[in-house]
Amino acid sequence: MLFSSATFLYLFLPAVLVVYYGLKWSRPLQNLFLLLASLFFYAWGEPRFVRVMALSIAVNWLFGLLADRFRDRPALARAVTALDVVCNLAILFIFKYLGFTGRVLQLLGLDARFPQIALPIGVSFFTFQAMSYVLDVRRGRGRVQKNILNVGLYIAFFPQLIAGPIVRYETVAEEILHRKETWTDVLDGFARFVAGLSKKVLLANHFAVLADEAFSLNALSAGMGWLGAVAYAMQIFFDFSGYSDMAIGLGRMFGFHFLENFNYPYLSASVSDFWRRWHISLGSWFRDYVYIPLGGSRRGPARNALNLLAVWALTGLWHGANFTFLLWGLLHFCAIGAERLLHLDKKERKSVLGWLVTSVFILVGWVLFRADSVSQAAVYLKAMAGANGRLRHR
């Protein structure tokens, strides 16, 4: 069920709001109703994947209890957390990366044929949220939820379930049981939802038409190549930030306050600054749960480079199981590494030249992100450079 669909706008959302506020006298019943509504929302597209969601909720609820119980025994707490991460990543690997792993092994000369399993909607988002719950409980950054229904609400809450933002448990832990809904929140949330819906329907969808046309052409001129890349940059921004706006607005309607996910990223004058403004929830997740635990920048330049490499390879693959996404992540690793090496990330580069260089780099990256294959991206980029060519489509 899409936020922009008539079913959601005229049936699901009004009904959920009416029943939710009709249960205002009982927070437990409100939470139970929101969980059931969220599972119904998720089941609307693929009912069979509700079992995957239920498994994720049960596993992380159990490991959350264990992590809280062993907080005064650090070694056991770390072991419990590590096992939880393994379980969550196993779910993600089976559904998203099993087929890709088979292709990689075949390229290495091994006879490996793994099935391409259908991907549960939003699995990358809710898996990362689920891990955040156990990690934050172990670190004492949020109260453990002994009621499995509350854990389920945190993981499956429909506003951010499909396209984010990735809501960190520590940011909403208190609101699960002690939030306060106000008419100001409801009205502000409604306005934010409408703004996001407008981005999606009026802007993103129209830019998508131009981008799709450019990337589907057999022969591409330089002008059309650049136009298509700019169109896709606008499409992905208005689409993604639009969904984030809608999620933030919907959360406000029910008393939840999600953190911002975008902050004018295309005004950035460096790639490092771009990633402080783009998909903020994903960047902060990798920073706090991967980069810093690996040692961050505290263990010398070589180790810092390896930590950055791991983060950006994983960031690329998080977006999709394809070599194009991996190369896109590695491209950003190279740019951010170069900026750190030259200390450009610590300088206020607000010049027009800095913005222009960053914008061109981001556009080149979006071509890799949008292309069906590395070969198509290479031909497309050659066309942008003035070497007309024919694109290859899968």
Amino acid at 72: D
Question: Helices (H) and strands (E) in the chain — how many of each?
Answer: 20, 2
The DSSP letter of residue 143 is: -
The three-state DSSP-derived secondary structure of 100-138 is HHHHHHHHCCCCCCCCCCCCCCCHHHHHHHHHHHHHHHH
The length of the chain, given as a count of residues: 394
Active-site residue, 319 included: yes
Catalytic residue among 178, 279, 319, 332: 319
Cα–Cα distance list, 172 to 86, 142, 227, 282, 366 (Å): 24, 9, 41, 16, 32
Cis amide linkage into residue 165, ω under 30° from 0: yes
Q: Which helix (H) or strand (E) holds 220?
A: strand 219-220
Which sequence positions are flagged as catalytic?
319
